[in-house]
């Protein structure tokens, strides 16, 4: 998401799904080095539980204190498909 709230495509991850999810998770966690580690939201849609568990373990290892895991609903699944995943966290940008 850009500074104006517009969703933009990011990097594409290809190949074996489990490896692509690992690469995506690592990329997202490294992309914002100054993330607020208080809370992270991870959502997924009809994803293999083993892949979800690995993703949650990687998020925990990154130092996030409160991990909110959401099962994405039928609207997201219908429009985006099975295995839709996403991470959301607040970026520390200093004082306003």
Write down the pLDDT at residue 44. 94
Burial of 85 (0-12, 13-18, 19+ CB in 10 A): buried
Q: What's this model's pTM, rounded to 2 decimal places? A: 0.78
Element (H, E) at 76: helix 74-80
Q: List the pLDDT tens digit at each of the 96 positions of the chain.
A: 778 888 777 788 989 999 999 999 999 888 777 888 999 999 999 899 999 999 999 999 999 999 999 999 998 888 888 899 989 888 877 655
**Helices and strands (H, E) in the chain, number of each type:** 3, 3
């Amino acid at each position: 998401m850009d500074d104006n709230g517009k969703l933009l495509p990011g990097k594409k991850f290809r190949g074996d799904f489990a490896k692509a999810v690992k690469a995506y998770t690592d990329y997202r966690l490294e992309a914002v080095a100054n993330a607020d580690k208080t809370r992270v939201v991870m959502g997924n849609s009809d994803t293999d539980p083993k892949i979800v568990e690995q993703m949650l373990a990687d998020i925990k290892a990154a130092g996030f204190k409160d991990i909110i895991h959401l099962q994405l609903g039928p609207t997201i699944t219908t429009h985006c498909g099975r295995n839709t995943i996403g991470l959301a966290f607040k970026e520390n940008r200093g004082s306003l």
